Structure 1
């Protein structure tokens, strides 16, 4: 077993009981630019949640340049391009990853998938709501930046988790993403995750930099959700095409990711999907009709 600590297993059992009769949490994982470790966060967060007893579905929403499957060494025969073309159903392209996480794989190098119209994007979201799948988390690994699909899928989420690193372009682009989502698309609350920092102090300072600017110019609420350290174990796991929380469970970054997963378990269930995406939340609730708010 990847995690040896019996305390973690006891904690997972307690979380299973807490999770009973709860609706699904939908979390979009975003970044203003590429190269900040967003997809690694999405993949390892899904595995960490599964290690705690959750049933996450990881949706690779970088539809034309997906690489969730690559990070995990998986070779799906079909992907979401086959759903869009009508060749396969959503259920038929689902694949399993470590700790039995379920994954909706994106295409790679398929130009038409990177330029889907809003209706096709909405149809994908509706298809996820129609999945015959038992899940309690939907993690949406968004493309980097502020393309149309990022905006559509962000509106379908209850929480938007913005990953950024301590470099000027990352901070500037993360702010731009938050500004567009808040001013034009009704997203007002954001979780912020500093990644690849030297220590917690650097992570806190990075959050304060973006929060100070946002407080001055935007009508939003930002909340820091910890920090992830720069850790050679993560680079080694990427080379091995494994989740770091599974391959190196005691590495500093793995411990931080498990802490993040525990934090997410404690997030209250909210229903803030904006505008026309509200129907998506209704569909997910219909999958768990016994759930109460």
Structure 2
């Protein structure tokens, strides 16, 4: 058990202590509302801690973070790649403290299946990542189980899951599909809608299954409990850490933000 915990700590160090730019690509096995709530509050918590944060909506469906926030992008990252817009026209400043960017306003398939256009979009993605402290990507896998831009896997991939059986099954499926596409590598697990004990059980079960059947190592990023204050804050158009700083979810999001914003040097997690 001690060896397992040691490996867990070392893996978490590797995942959360990489060189800048810091890219975290999120895939969710929860409801659209739960995913959006997590992204908004994580972004706001990182921004409140002093990080320059950008959320990138890279979803082909209508479930992406930009659409969920009701944002009307004046320009997209694809427009910049086509040299039709400048970077300062792409990033929308949100009241929660982070920037919001849309990958494309049209067909994601058309944008990423033209080789020259994909190359330019990939380069533009890299520039965006280099200009911010933390880039959080709201992503979905396509029909080929691939991310929209391969470079989105160059950072850390985090799978969001809830304690519900259907969510755990979907999260495992995402990991299996990712593993077949990007090869053997570690994946982070973030459990939402669960207290720490329940989240640990979910993580341990998933980690053991992934290790046994896929030879894939998972790392626990943390957890966020169910908290009515999150919903109340959303109705106010605010992040929970701002509206209700003493709420249980606020404590959890601040703890997550501290992990995601760790400096390159001097990172250490106790086993």
TM range (shorter): 0.7 to 0.9
Provide the rounded CA distance (Å) in 2 between the counterparts of 1:206 and 1:138.
27
Q: What is the match of residue 40 of structure 1?
A: 37
Provide the rounded CA distance (Å) in 2 between the counterparts of 1:153 and 1:95.
24
Q: What is the match of residue 230 of structure 2?
A: 234
Q: What is the match of residue 217 of structure 2?
A: 221
**Runs of at least 5 residues in structure 2 that lack an aligned partner in the other structure:** 1-16, 266-271
Report whether the alignment pairs 1:117 with 2:107: no
**Given the superposition, is the C-alpha separation of residues 268 and 81 from structure 1 closer, same or farther in structure 2, using an over 3 Å criterion?**
closer
Q: What is the match of residue 54 of structure 1?
A: 51
Q: Which structure 2 residues correspond to residues 1-293 of structure 1 after superposition, within 5 A?
A: 23-32=20-29, 34-35=31-32, 37-65=34-62, 67-69=64-66, 72=69, 74-80=71-77, 82-83=79-80, 87-98=84-95, 100-105=97-102, 110=106, 112-113=107-108, 116-118=111-113, 119=115, 120-131=117-128, 134-143=131-140, 148=145, 150=147, 152-153=149-150, 155-197=152-194, 199-266=195-262
**1:180-236 CA distance string (max 9 Å, x none):** 212331251111011011x21111111122112112111211111221001111222
Q: In structure 2, the residue corresponding to 1:37 is in which secondary structure?
A: helix
**Given the superposition, is the C-alpha separation of residues 222 and 69 from structure 1 closer, same or farther in structure 2, using an over 3 Å criterion?**
same
**CA apart distance, 1:46:** 1.6
TM-score normalised by structure 1 residue count? 0.71
Task: Say if 1:72 and 1:241, in contact at 8 Å, map to a contact too.
Answer: no
Task: Say if 1:90 and 1:128, in contact at 8 Å, map to a contact too.
Answer: no
Q: In structure 1, the residue corresponding to 2:187 is in which secondary structure?
A: strand
Provide the rounded CA distance (Å) in 2 between the counterparts of 1:100 and 1:36.
20
**Runs of at least 5 residues in structure 1 that lack an aligned partner in the other structure:** 1-18, 270-293
Task: Say if 1:47 and 1:243, in contact at 8 Å, map to a contact too.
Answer: yes
Task: Say if 2:203 and 2:220, in contact at 8 Å, map to a contact too.
Answer: yes
**CA apart distance, 1:95:** 1.0
**Given the superposition, is the C-alpha separation of residues 134 and 127 from structure 1 closer, same or farther in structure 2, using an over 3 Å criterion?**
closer
**Given the superposition, is the C-alpha separation of residues 113 and 134 from structure 1 closer, same or farther in structure 2, using an over 3 Å criterion?**
closer
**CA apart distance, 1:83:** 4.7
Q: In structure 2, the residue corresponding to 1:163 is in which secondary structure?
A: strand
Greater displacement, 85-94 / 147-156: 147-156
TM-score normalised by structure 2 residue count? 0.76
Q: In structure 2, the residue corresponding to 1:225 is in which secondary structure?
A: strand
Provide the rounded CA distance (Å) in 2 between the counterparts of 1:23 and 1:77.
28
RMSD: 3.1
Q: In structure 1, the residue corresponding to 2:47 is in which secondary structure?
A: helix
How many residues get paired?
246
**CA apart distance, 1:24:** 1.8
Provide the rounded CA distance (Å) in 2 between the counterparts of 1:267 and 1:82.
32
